[in-house]
Homo-oligomer: A and B are copies of this chain.
Amino acid sequence: MESPVLSYLRKVHAELAELRDGTPYSVGPSSADLNPADFGIALATVDGHVYEVGTTRKQFSLQSISKPLSYGFAIAELGMDAVDAHVDVEPSGDPFNEISSNPETGRPANAMINAGAIAVASLIKGSGGRTPIQRIEHTYSEFAARRLRSDGREYRAERARSDRNHGLAYLLSAAGVVEGDPTRALETYLRQCAVQVDCRDLAMIAATLASGGTNPVTGTEVLPYEAVERVLSVMMTSGMYDDAGDWATSVGLPAKSGVGGGIIAVLPGQVGLAVYSPPLDKHGNSVRGAAACRRISSDLQMHFVRSARQGRSAIRSIRTIDQEPSNIRRTEAAADVLQEQSERALVLELAGDLFFAGTETVVRELTSRAPEIDVVVIDVRDVDEVGDAGIRMINAVFQDFRENGREILLVDPDDVLGGVDTRGITVFDSRDRAIAECEHRLLERYGGPEAMPRAVPVVDSPVLAPLDRADAEALASHMNPRHYDDGDVIRRVGQRFGGVFFILSGTISIVASHTDGTRFRLRTLGAGMTFGELALGEDDRQETTAKAEGPVEVMVLTADEIEALEERDPALAVQLWRALSRDAYMRVDRLSRANAARIRD
């Protein structure tokens, strides 16, 4: 099917093609080739996809659309202050070719009028064997992700009738605003106006501005973000000839038009829009171009007020530790401690952006709850973007927590909080491990020795709880003790069922593989828990690998012993299997609830 975006643009194109007002600008040899019916719309996303309708591949002169590009280039080259010393940022309210300059400073009102653009052109110097215009062409090409060139014949035609601009250049030179030879500055300016583009190029240029200065296709950083911010600000108030207020109000997008018939409009962070249609209104804006921007901004809700990021809390969920227990089975004493102290440990899941508004809610929550908190797990894996203000606010909270002995456990495998000071903060790659550690620290603070068992005798294993003592001891008598060292693989994926392993002491990691072969920790087991039995689930094969983390003591009821037991003492075997089933059922119930909870969150 055709993309609805394309269908939509086609519809807008068909409707606005009916507009017959306006007159094309006819200077230069290519004006013979100008067709008032030509009309193209191109929309480029910040991931580089371009939608095109109509005349989007016909070349024309960039003209004044060059002004914001060179302005940004000059800022990138010389810095904001140096450029500001030559050009102001005030809307002029005057037509583009007016000599609008500050009576006190002589600075042109802004870089979107000719006087300002000529001043800007004078600031761009040759370098590395390249002339100013060659460097400008190079930068424009980076914007468009395609080699763009200035057309000599167009340039000469414009130059032949640029008396007014010549005069302007000399006046600006007299005022100290144009640097160096005013004729050179003017020539550079006129050549940049004669750079040939098509409508698709313009969309890509606009998308580069939309993505903060980085071309979405090539990934080249054409302009630094600060320069783009400035360029778009000035485009918002002064980009459209002579109706800046109306444009900012009704379209609400930074835009720039050129008498070549092009217009670009930029929705920061989202979209670059370009229109080409030669007939111009009395201000010098493309009639269909302005109409298309107006229409599309309204339909797609691109106005700066509407498209502002919403101040949504970055907190996806906030739970006390009892509401999100780890996969580690605890003794009854430990479970009681965790239950009683559950308010003292929080698990926060953050999502979305940590700019001011999103972070403010997180920080508000943490500061207001701080007095009750000992440990907090903060899972930031679903955070998209982090702003400077967010980093500063988080730093302040982290510092306060550190100073007051509150512990922070961060789940941040991708270093989303790269800019945050994480001294003294443990960073985990999985939420489960962080939660397990969180419980551990709570138990260290509040649990007695019975809550932190060093070793669990096999007869006290919760799995065997349904058996009476004699049966449990009878079973234990069929088991063999084994010792493993840190890193030992005890069961490997693919091995046949080798029996049921009862952990007496130490920690076991259960590692599984994704379908793509990458491995991940499925769960962590401790004293009193069992492993190995799940191999019975599927073809009697281990689906996972069990690995010792530090020294581990286990008792194994081997597959052979179980088989022998089923022969010799089927009643005891029934007890064993019934206990194992019960244990598995508890796990199924807990897991399916956890799953349901996550799906519903």
Contacts and interface: CB of A to CB of B under 8 A. Distances in A.
Interface of A: 1-5, 7-8, 45-47, 49, 88-91, 93, 109-110, 210, 228-230, 232-234, 236-238, 243-246, 248-250, 252, 254, 267-271, 299-313, 323, 327, 351-353, 355-357, 360-361, 363-364, 367, 370, 384-385, 387-389, 392-393, 396-397, 400, 404, 430-432, 512, 515, 520, 522-523, 533-538, 543-544, 566, 570-571, 573-574, 577-578, 580-589, 591-596, 598-600
Given A236-B248, A397-B1, A577-B574, A587 B588 contact: yes
Contacts of A8: 392-393, 396
A248 B388 CA distance: 21
A588 B598 contact: no
Contacts of A533: 581, 585
- In the A-B complex, the 4 residue pairs with the smallest Cβ-Cβ separation, listed nearest first, are A584-B584, A577-B577, A537-B585, A270-B311
9 contacts: A3-B364, A301-B389, A304-B304, A307-B308, A352-B352, A522-B596, A534-B585, A537-B585, A574-B577
Contacts of A397: 1, 4
Residue from A385, A523, A596 having most chain B Cβ neighbours under 10 A: A596
Contact of A248 (B233, B353, B360): B233
Nearest to A389: B300
- Total copies of the chain: 2
Contacts of A210: 311
A195 to B, nearest CB: 25
Residue from A311, A393, A543 having most chain B Cβ neighbours under 10 A: A311
A566 B574 contact: yes
A369 to B, nearest CB: 10
A245 B88 contact: yes
A384 B384 CA distance: 15
A384 to B, nearest CB: 6
A388 B595 CA distance: 33
